[in-house]
Amino acid sequence: MDIELRRRRKKLDPDPDVRDALVNAATEIAREEGIASVNVARVLARTELSTRAFYRHFASKDALVSEVFLQMARIEMRRLKRKMAAASGPAEAVVAWIDGRLDLAFNPQIRSDLRKMSLEAQTQMFAAPDLVSEAYGEILKPLVEQLEKGRAAGLFPDVDPAGDALSIHGAIWASVERQWMTGECDRHGVREQVVRFCMRGLGGVQPLER
């Protein structure tokens, strides 16, 4: 192959550093002003990159927004895994995951941008689900893994890991939104109710106290 042709092709290859700069700029805008404020022109202005550079890395603004949600979801997934690490088995790990997601509403140490982006993602689930489906998959991944382990061990014999993970998240989110709206919920009471409901749905395993 001609050397000059190889050089031109190499110049057009995606650059991980440029991609990261675009994602970081979009994330900053989303944290400061909300996901609706993210657009190509503003991201390029913040990064001082060209339109060509943008479209070499992302097919559209929506593709960039989807990546922003995915990056935030991976941060949340790692946080949840840390909370689940000490669990002695699948049932305890499921409860730890529930506790981790309830942190969004009840733990003041959780960063406000994580709460804000979680709310943004939930809104997009109805408006543009393709933007956040991969991100939700990341957050649910450790829960699905434990449901699969529980099924293999006979703890959750009739569980549908992917489907039941969505149901568990839905039950938690209803409580999270209620707390955000009213600020009047008691964490212990909410946790007890959610854990009891979810664990019974998984096959009659009794909720675990922590």
- Rounded CA-CA distance 66/89 in Å is 33
Determine the average pLDDT of the residues in 143-166.
95
Asked whether residue 69 falls in the same domain as residue 34, the answer is no
Asked whether residue 187 falls in the same domain as residue 134, the answer is yes
Asked whether residue 92 falls in the same domain as residue 187, the answer is yes
Asked whether residue 149 falls in the same domain as residue 181, the answer is yes
- Rounded CA-CA distance 158/155 in Å is 9
Q: How confident is the model at residue 5 (pLDDT cuts 50, 70, 90)?
A: very low
pLDDT tens for each residue of 42-93: 999 999 999 999 999 999 999 999 999 999 899 999 999 999 999 999 999 9
Q: Is 173 a domain residue? A: yes
pLDDT value of residue 205: 55
Q: Of 82-86, 102-106, 169-173, 200-204, which gets the smallest average pLDDT?
A: 200-204
Question: The whole model's pTM is what?
Answer: 0.83
Asked whether residue 26 falls in the same domain as residue 48, the answer is yes
Q: Is residue 95 within 8 Å of 195, Cβ to Cβ? A: yes
pLDDT value of residue 13: 75
User: Using CA of residue 173, residue 176, residue 181, residue 182, what is the dihedral sign?
Assistant: positive
Burial tier of 40 (Cβ tally within 10 Å: 0-12, 13-18, 19+): middle
Asked whether residue 126 falls in the same domain as residue 29, the answer is no
Domain hosting residue 46, numbered range: 8-58
Asked whether residue 74 falls in the same domain as residue 165, the answer is yes
Q: Is residue 107 within 8 Å of 99, Cβ to Cβ? A: no
Q: Is 210 a domain residue? A: no
